[in-house]
Structure 1
Amino acid sequence: MTDFLPLAYPWIKALHVMAVLSWMAGLFYLPRLFVYHAERGHLGQEPVQSFRIMEDKLLRLIMNPAMIVTWIAGLALVLTPGIVDWTMIWPWTKAAGVLGMTWFHMWLAGQRKALLLGQGLSGRRYRMMNEVPTLLMVLIVLSVIVKF
């Protein structure tokens, strides 16, 4: 398999980038949907039902598959000989950022369930949490590009 990875490297890297873009789009958008859901949820009208459907489909059909492909392609890149120098700091900071991003994804999934039960956070709190993926993205991109 290690003979295959160097040959497939550009394709795996392209797949990884596409999956990351899809995952990040969901990580940016789902908390925004939660803001609207939290602020209009007490109305019990049609917009709330629409938010529930959008939240569910975004998480199940886009974010979950994108996260899985991101992880699989990312691990394939890590296993490609000569790509990662583990004596440097950047792979560790990137790994920490990816673990943080995964935690945030799982937190969002839990918040979707809480909102369904009427136990979600305030719109203001969701607005604040919406900054988490941006901070993690900055850490990951700087780690990979600058390789500090």
Structure 2
Amino acid sequence: MTLLWLKALHVFFMIAWMAGIFYLPRLFVYHAATKEQVVRDQLKVMERRLWLFITPFAFLTLGFGIAAIYVYGADWLKASGWMHVKLLLVSLFYVYHFYLWHLMKRFARDENTHSPKFYRFLNEAPVLALLAIVVLAILKPF
């Protein structure tokens, strides 16, 4: 029963984290497109609050995922090749998360150098990584 709770909480916090991590670059699209300082200032507040809201979800996702792996055991982890690929992709999401923080800090200083098109790509590309993670977790292909 403990493992099921760990997995349920892991998935719940992952969904909450992904909702925010996909919305933050969308705010960047709007931020990069606007010329009005009042709008920029409002977007800065929204971006900061969203990042602070979703960051605990990122750490809770990680904590419950590690706890589930611990319960499964080292032998299971060694035998689960799919999990190694999943963990690599997940680690890229953490890099992505903190790259968004870096971009948010640049917006906060009015130092953005990227176009709205760049942020659209940044917003949409990680969807494929998430699809790969879900496929690996459900199908366990190797």
What SS does the corresponding residue of 2:79 show, helix, strand or coil?
coil
Residue of structure 2 equivalent to 1:3: none
1:66 alignment counterpart: 57
Query: What's 2:105 paired with?
Result: 113
Aligned to 2:79: 87
Measure, in 1, the Cα distance between the counterparts of 2:103 and 2:128: 20
Q: Percent identity over the alignment?
A: 33
Q: Note the residue ranges of structure 1 that are not aligned, 5 or more in a row.
A: 1-6
- For residues 14 and 80 of structure 2, what CA distance do their matches in structure 1 show? 23
Other structure's SS at 1:86 match: helix
Q: Which runs of 4+ in 1 moved over 2 A?
A: 81-89
How many equivalent pairs are there? 139
TM-score by length of 1: 0.88
Structure 2: runs of 5+ lacking an equivalent: none
Residue 114 of structure 1: how far off its partner (Å):
0.8
TM-score, scaled relative to structure 2: 0.91
Bigger helix share: 2
CA RMSD, aligned part only?
A: 1.5
Q: Secondary structure at the residue paired with 1:118? A: coil
**Residue pair 1:93, 1:139 contacting (<8 A) in 2 also:** no
Q: Which residue of 2 aligns with 1:35?
A: 29
Q: Which amino acid letter does the alignment assign opposite residue 5 of structure 2?
A: W
Query: 1:21 & 1:95 partners in 2: Cα distance?
Result: 16
Equivalent residues of 2:28, 2:119 under 8 A apart: yes
